[in-house]
Chain A
Amino acid sequence: MAGHSTAAVAHAGSNPFLRVVAAISTVAGWCAAAMIVVAVVVTCQMIFVRLVLNASTVWQTETVIYLVIAATLVGLPYVQRLRGHVNVDLFPLSLAPRARFVLACITLSISILVMAMMLFYGTEFWYLAWSKGWTSDTVWGVRLWIPYLSIPVGFGLLLLQLAADLYAVLIGIDKPFGLEDK
């Protein structure tokens, strides 16, 4: 059996590194939640402006889109820490503890590798937008490096949380895949 509620929040124990990373991820989670709330308010403001004032709505749509994107990316490390990303742990459950440990190390390492790649190219993309002064093609013309910043920040923090997860498994503070022993 698998699913996302079988595993508990990642353990940090009293390890200072794990605790710092956990704190960073939590703050990222607050930021994500705040951005979602702001998106709700801005959308309602947009409806009000259009419906009641019958005026133009120039900046709201883009703001809301970029807020939700940023909330998603910046929220990644926090959800990782809560083990909120759905997974299918069919193999881990069928493995003996030792093999499960090895599998956890492999999957976390590959995840870290791919996230590092996303971080690298995401930073490059952000840098392009910044150095070339790209804007969106709307009247508002938002400078794109601002929303694109959420790519390196989000993947950077997710990378950090994944590294902490791997470290916690390696030193035995956390169980592989957060699964309790059978």
Chain B
Amino acid sequence: TELRLSHQWSTGDVRHKVAQMVADDVAAAGVDLDIKIFPSQSLLKAREQYKPLSRGLLDMTVLPLSYAGGQQPAYNLTLMPGLVKNHDHAARMNESPFMEAIEGIMAEDDVIVLVHGYLAGGFAAKDKCITKPEDMPGLQTRAAGKAFEQMLAGAGASIASMASSEVYNAMQSGVLDAVNTSSSSFVSYRIYEQVSCYTPAGEYALWFMYQPLLMNKAKFESLTEDQQKALLAASEKAQAFYLEEAKKEDAASAEVFRENGVEIAEMTAADFDAWRALAKETSYKAFVEETPNGQQLLDLAFAVE
């Protein structure tokens, strides 16, 4: 049996490595299961993978689940400021009733999770360090994710939307003052060449994005028991790898920025609480308003210790 996996990342990216690991292990299991990976959006564009996946026109993908927030508003909770504190907390999220609820919603779309995983990110700015909401007023900012845009706008920043590929030039020419994205994007887009200060995900971090390896449910159920077992075993192994790599990425990105002479700032506990208070008034509020059972889901997420 052949399965097709599409994702947007380059082959050097940890998310590709996770997919590759699963593909390799499944192949090694000798259960007549062959996963063909289409990296770098070579089959489908990043935001056009979830719909085909849920309709059974694509078998597997590695995807920031919040990309599908327009189809299932509940998914916006997987990129919500201040919800996840660090990678170990993220790992506990994955095993919680909260994630069960999210997986229940995915099941409605005929989608299941094979590998859970969160990646973190931070802030970088041209002329100053961003650690707390008071740093934001007047900055033209590109944020990754709807909930972050709402929170940063609430802090007084101006939100500019553009493709991630335009960010570097926009920073260089001064169209943008600040940017918020994942640690790996900061490095791969060489943002360190254009900023003076970087606030990576550290002891406290705001930006965590859930980016699981997903599969079409009907397709999974159509596999033989042996094939399913092999797939699940490979996924479990890949998930442990994913968590370790995710932890390494933040420190590695900070190192790259430091080497390039960029100042490294840190968020304190007080900063984190200030952001969270702001998020309550902005992102959380908007989320609860537009999502059926929004408050209940939010409570579930906060219940994770």
Contacts and interface: CB of A to CB of B under 8 A. Distances in A.
Direct contact of A and B (CB under 8 A): yes
Interface of A: 50, 54-58, 61-62, 128, 132, 134-139, 141, 144
Contacts of B66: 137
A54 B158 contact: yes
Contacts of B290: 141
The 7 A-B residue pairs whose C-beta atoms are closest, nearest first, are A56-B159, A135-B70, A137-B69, A137-B70, A61-B161, A56-B158, A136-B70
A139 B149 contact: yes
B71 A57 contact: no
A139 B157 CA distance: 15
B270 interface: no
Contact of A137 (B67, B150, B153, B157): B67
B161 A57 contact: yes
Contacts of A139: 146, 149-150, 153, 159
B175 interface: yes
B47 interface: yes
Interface in B72-100: 76
A57 B141 CA distance: 10
B261 interface: no
Contacts of B161: 57-58, 61-62, 138
A139 B160 CA distance: 12
Q: How large is the interface on B (under 10, 10 to 19, 20 to 34, 35 or more residues)?
A: 20 to 34
26 contacts: A50-B140, A50-B175, A54-B140, A56-B157, A56-B158, A56-B159, A56-B160, A57-B158, A57-B161, A58-B159, A62-B161, A128-B51, A132-B71, A134-B70, A134-B71, A137-B67, A137-B68, A137-B69, A137-B70, A138-B149, A139-B149, A139-B150, A139-B159, A141-B70, A141-B290, A144-B70
Contacts of B159: 56-58, 139
B269 interface: no
A134 B73 CA distance: 10
Contacts of B30: none
Contacts of A54: 138, 140, 158
B160 A50 contact: yes
Interface of B: 47, 51, 66-71, 76, 138, 140, 146, 149-150, 153, 157-162, 175, 290
Nearest to A47: B175
B153 A138 contact: no
Contacts of B138: 54
Residue among A57, A62, A137 facing the most chain B CB atoms (10 A cut-off): A137
B140 A137 contact: no
A156 to B, nearest CB: 22
B146 A137 contact: yes
Contacts of B70: 134-137, 141, 144
B146 A138 contact: yes
A56 B175 contact: no
Contacts of A141: 70, 146, 290
A12 B172 CA distance: 54
Given A58-B159, A134-B70, 11 more contacts: A57-B158, A57-B161, A58-B161, A132-B71, A137-B47, A137-B69, A138-B146, A138-B149, A141-B146, A141-B290, A144-B70
Nearest to B150: A139
Nearest to B140: A50
Nearest to B138: A54
Nearest to B76: A137
B160 A57 contact: yes
